[in-house]
Amino acid sequence: MSARLMRLTGALQAVDADVYVASQRPNQLYFVAAAEPVSDLPPVAYVLLAPPDLVIVPGAPFFFACRDHLPGVELASTEVGGSPLGADATDALVAEIRRRGYRRVVLDAVSRETEAALRKSLPGVTLTLDPAFGPRLRRPKEPGELETIRAAAAIADLGMVAAFRAAQEPRGRGVSGRDIAAEATATMLRAGAEEASLQVAVGPATAYMGTGDWVYAPRRLLQPGDMLLVDMAIKFHGYLGDQTRTVVVGDGTPEQIELIRTVQAAYRATVAAMRPGATSAELYAITTDLLEQRGWRRYFPHHISHGLGLGGDLPRVSATSDDVLQVGDTLSCEPGVYIPGLGGARFENMLYLGPDGIEELTQSPVDPVVGG
Amino acid sequence: MSARLMRLTGALQAVDADVYVASQRPNQLYFVAAAEPVSDLPPVAYVLLAPPDLVIVPGAPFFFACRDHLPGVELASTEVGGSPLGADATDALVAEIRRRGYRRVVLDAVSRETEAALRKSLPGVTLTLDPAFGPRLRRPKEPGELETIRAAAAIADLGMVAAFRAAQEPRGRGVSGRDIAAEATATMLRAGAEEASLQVAVGPATAYMGTGDWVYAPRRLLQPGDMLLVDMAIKFHGYLGDQTRTVVVGDGTPEQIELIRTVQAAYRATVAAMRPGATSAELYAITTDLLEQRGWRRYFPHHISHGLGLGGDLPRVSATSDDVLQVGDTLSCEPGVYIPGLGGARFENMLYLGPDGIEELTQSPVDPVVGG
C-alpha cells in the first residue's frame, strides 16, 4: 500500500470511520493516483476509499473512460437507475455503501440537495462532512509532487515574463489588460500548462483586487503613471502555479513607489519568519504589524498564504487559521495593500519549506519594468 | 423606469414579494445595468431590487469601487460588523432588509450556510429561493443585447478558425489539444473577449466529452485518423459566446464520417423545427428520434440547447425542460454523440429566434479541414 493510502487508513481509524468518499477532484486525483499510475483520471462522481478497497462511481458517461484507462480499479455499476447512461451517480453511491455495509462515512463536500438525499437514503449510516479531511492528508508534499510544483512555478515565471513583455511593447492603440492576459496565457499553455488564466488590473482597478479574481474594467489601456497588477493561476498536471507582480508604468509617484515597496517589505519580513513551528497567527501579525505602522492595516483584507498542490491545500496563513508550518509544506506568500484613490499592490511568490529552510520556487524578476 | 425594471416590478407583484435580492452576477449585472449605464459592475455581494429602489450591498472591499463608478446608486453601509473592510456582507443584507421593512423576499441562490443564517436572522420574513426568477426576466433579449451576442459569436468564429489553423500547421513534435487551445485563446482575447477558454478533445477522449467541460488527456498529440472536437466558452461584455466543431484528421473511416454527419443532421433537423411555440419536448425528440433510428440514442447524454446571455439563461431544450420557444430567444443547438471505441462528435451553433424565424449567429466553417 502506498504512503498516501497508509495515511488515509490511519486517518479513518482516528475518526472511527469505515470509508472516505471523495467527491472533489483534488481528493479523488490524489488517492486514485496513489493506487494507479494515472494523471488523467476522467471526471468521476465519487471515489470510495476504504484501503485496500478503492471503488470509483464514475457517473455516466465516464464509465467507459474509467474502464479503458484504470484497468486495475473497481468500478461501481452505473445501471442503478435503468439505462447505463441515465443512472444517477448519487443513487449508485448509495447502492455501493449499502452493498459494502459501510456504517460510518466521511465525505468531503456535496451540495445541500445531495447531502439531504444521502441522509434520507442511508438512515442507519453516520455521515460526516469534512472538507478539510482530504487537504490534511494531502499536505506533506512527496518528492515527485515537489518536482511537479517546481515545474508549475517555472511555467508561471515564463507567463509573468511574457505579460510584462506584452505590456512593454508599443502598439498603435495601446495595451490593455486583456492584451497582456492573451500573450501570457498563450505562453503558459504552449509551455505545458493544461489551464492558464491571468488577472490583470490596470490603473484604479488595482485598488479593488483585494478579494476575488474577477478583473474589473479589463479594457482600460495602460497609461504612463498607471499601477499594473498581474496575478495568475495555472495548472500543470493538476498542480497550481501562482504568482503576482505589481509595478508602476514609468517613474511613478513617491506614494506609488512606497506602496509597492511596503508590500514587498511585508513579503520579505513574513517569509523570513517561515520555519517549522511558525504559527499562522505569528506570521500574519508580521505583515499586519508592518502595515499598521504605516497606517495601512485596514487596506489589507485577505489571507497571507494558501497551500500549493492539487487544490484547496493547507497550510493557510490568515486572520482565522490555526495552522502551524511544517517541513514539506508548499505555500504562497502574498501580502497586498489596496488603497482607493492611490492603487493596489500585491506581491506573491511560491515557496517550499524544506529541511534546510524556506525556498522561493518563483524566479521571475521582482521588479519588471514597463515604460521605463 | 427601464423595461427591465418594469418587468421585475410585475414579477414581484405576481408572487406577492417586496424585493428581489440578486447574489448571482448575471442577475446583478442585468438589473444594475438597466438603472445605470455600467458594463463593469465591480464584484458585489448582493443587489436589493424593489423598483424604483436599488441598493447595492458591496461586500468589502468593493465599497469604494461602487462609490466611484455608480454615483447614482444607493450603497448599503459595510460598517455593520465593525471596521469598514471587516464587515460581513450577509450581516449588511440582514440590516438592510430590516431597515427597509421588507417582509417577503425572493433570493436567487446562496450557500446552505448563508440561507440558514438569513432564516435565523430574519424570523418574520418570508424568504423564497428561486434560481429561475432572474433568468425568466432576462430571457427576451433586447436589441442592444442581441448586438453584443452577435459580437460574441463573431469572436468565437475567429477563435474556431484560429484553432483549426493551429491544428493544421506542421510542428516538429506534433500538435496537442493544449497547443490548439493556446492559439485560439490568444486570438479571442486579442479580438475583444474578456474571458476565453477552449475544450479540445483529441482521439479517444472525444468519446468522453458528453458531460462537463473538463478536458481529458490534453497532452495527446494529434495523429492522422484522430477525431478532433473543439468546444469553447468566451465572454464579451459579460455575454456568452459558444460553438463546437468536430472533424477527423485526414480522410477518416466510414464510421467516423457517419458519426460526424449524423450529429450535423440532428442539428439541422432540430434547428429547422425551431419556431415560436415549439416545445422542448418536441425539439428534443427530433434529435433523439433521429439517433434512435441509428441505434445511438444511448450515446447522447446531454441537453440540446441552453439560452445565451449573461449566464444561466433560458430557454433550455432537454429531456426535463418544459420551456417553449418564443421570439427574442437566443440559444444554442448542440447535439452530440459519444461512442466508446469510435469517438465523439458534437456540433454547436449560436442561434437567434427573431420575428422572421431562426437565424444562425455562428458563421465559422461547418467542416474545417485538418490534415486533408
3-state secondary structure of A191: helix
The DSSP element (H or E) to which A21 belongs, if any, is strand A19-22
Tell me the pLDDT band of B206, cut-offs 50, 70 and 90.
confident
> Range with the lowest mean pLDDT among A51-65, A105-119, A307-321, B335-349?
A51-65
Nearest-neighbour CA in chain B from A341: distance (Å): 9
Q: A333 CB near a chain B CB, below 8 Å?
A: no
The DSSP element (H or E) to which A208 belongs, if any, is none
The candidate with the shortest Cα–Cα distance to B319, out of A120, A83, A79, is A83
Tell me the pLDDT band of A215, cut-offs 50, 70 and 90.
low
Q: What is the reported pLDDT for A81?
A: 45
**pLDDT exceeding 90 applies to what percent of chain A?**
67
Task: Give the architecture-level CATH label for domain B143-360.
Answer: Alpha-Beta Complex (3.90)
> Range with the lowest mean pLDDT among A63-67, B100-104, B201-205, B237-241?
A63-67
Taken in order B83, B86, B90, B91, is the CA torsion positive or negative?
negative
Q: How far is CA B288 from CA B259, B267, B268, B275, B315, in A?
A: 14, 11, 13, 19, 19
Residues of A in contact with B219 (CB under 8 A): 194
> Range with the lowest mean pLDDT among A67-81, A158-172, B259-273, B310-324?
A67-81
**pLDDT exceeding 90 applies to what percent of chain B?**
67
Cis-peptide into B140, omega within 30 deg: no
The DSSP element (H or E) to which A341 belongs, if any, is none
Q: Which of residues 80-139 of A touch B (CB under 8 A)?
A: 83-86, 112
Q: What is the reported pLDDT for A219?
A: 79
The answer, yes or no, to whether residue B319 has pLDDT greater than 90, is yes
Tell me the pLDDT band of A85, cut-offs 50, 70 and 90.
very low
Q: What is the pLDDT of residues B127-177, one digit of tens each?
A: 999 999 999 999 999 999 999 999 999 999 999 999 999 998 777 778 988
Q: What is the reported pLDDT for B197?
A: 86
Task: Give CATH 3.90.230.10 domain extents, chain B.
Answer: 143-360
Q: Using CA atoms, how far apart are residues A164 and A244, in angstroms rounded to an integer?
A: 12
Given a contact cutoff of 8 angstroms between Cβ atoms, the answer to whether B306 and B295 are in contact is: no
Cell of B113: 450556510
Transcribe B201-238 into DSSP letters: EEGGGGGG-SSSSPPS-TTPBP-TT-EEEEEEEEEETT
Q: Give B304 or B37, the one with higher predicted confidence.
A: B304
Task: Kindly determine whether residue B43 and residue A214, on different chains, have CB atoms separated by under 8 Å.
Answer: yes
Q: Which of residues 236-295 of A touch B (CB under 8 A)?
A: none
Q: A347 CB near a chain B CB, below 8 Å?
A: no
Q: What is the reported pLDDT for A84?
A: 44
The answer, yes or no, to whether residue A83 has pLDDT greater than 70, is no
Q: How far is CA A351 from CA A193, A237, A239, A321, A336, in A?
A: 19, 18, 14, 18, 17
Buried b / exposed e over B281-316, threshold 16 CB at 10 Å, is eebbbbbbebbeeeebbbbbbbbbbbbbbbbbbbbb
Q: Using CA atoms, how far apart are residues B169 and A78, in angstroms rounded to an integer?
A: 41
> Range with the lowest mean pLDDT among A36-40, A312-316, B57-61, B165-169?
A36-40
Q: What is the pLDDT of residues B238-277, one digit of tens each?
A: 899 999 999 999 999 999 999 999 999 999 999 999 999 9
Mean pLDDT of chain A: 90
- Residue in chain B nearest A204 by alpha carbon: B65
Q: What is the reported pLDDT for B39?
A: 62
Transcribe A61-112 into DSSP letters: TTHHHHHHH-TTSEE--S-TTSSTTT--HHHHHHHHHHHHT--EEEE----H
Q: What is the reported pLDDT for B287?
A: 98
Q: A352 CB near a chain B CB, below 8 Å?
A: no
ipTM of the complex: 0.73
Residues of A in contact with B200 (CB under 8 A): none
B105 contact partners, CB below 8 Å, separation of at least 6: B17, B18, B19, B20, B21, B97, B122, B125, B126, B127, B128
Q: What is the reported pLDDT for A203?
A: 86
Q: What is the pLDDT of residues A243-293, one digit of tens each?
A: 999 999 999 999 999 999 999 999 999 999 999 999 999 999 999 999 999
What is the CATH code for A3-137?
3.40.350.10
Provide φ and ψ at A348, rounded to 5°: -140, 130
Q: How far is CA A22 from CA A39, A105, A325, B125, in A?
A: 17, 11, 26, 37
Tell me the pLDDT band of A177, cut-offs 50, 70 and 90.
confident
Q: Of B23, B158, B178, B338, which to mutate for an interface test with A (greatest number of A Cβ within 10 Å)?
A: B178
Q: What is the reported pLDDT for B88?
A: 77
The answer, yes or no, to whether residue A8 has pLDDT greater than 50, is yes
Transcribe B228-292 into DSSP letters: EEEEEEEEETTEEE--EEEEESSS--HHHHHHHHHHHHHHHHHHHT--TT-BHHHHHHHHHHHHH
Nearest-neighbour CA in chain B from A84: distance (Å): 8
This prediction has a pTM of 0.83
Tell me the pLDDT band of A213, cut-offs 50, 70 and 90.
very low
Q: What is the reported pLDDT for B296?
A: 96
Helix crossing, A3-14 with A25-35: angle to 10°?
120
Task: Give CATH 3.40.350.10 domain extents, chain A.
Answer: 3-137
Tell me the pLDDT band of A341, cut-offs 50, 70 and 90.
confident
The candidate with the shortest Cα–Cα distance to A105, out of A22, A33, A30, is A22
Residues of B in contact with A214 (CB under 8 A): 43
Residues of A in contact with B186 (CB under 8 A): 182-183, 185-186
Task: Kindly determine whether residue A185 and residue B189, on different chains, have CB atoms separated by under 8 Å.
Answer: yes
Q: What is the pLDDT of residues B49-104, one digit of tens each?
A: 999 999 998 876 566 667 777 777 888 876 654 444 445 788 889 999 999 999 99
Q: Which long-range contacts (CB under 8 A, 24 or more apart) does B258-263 make?
A: B259/B227, B259/B337, B259/B339, B259/B342, B259/B343, B259/B344, B259/B345, B260/B345, B260/B347, B262/B290, B262/B291, B262/B294, B262/B296, B262/B337, B262/B345, B263/B335, B263/B336, B263/B337, B263/B345, B263/B346, B263/B347
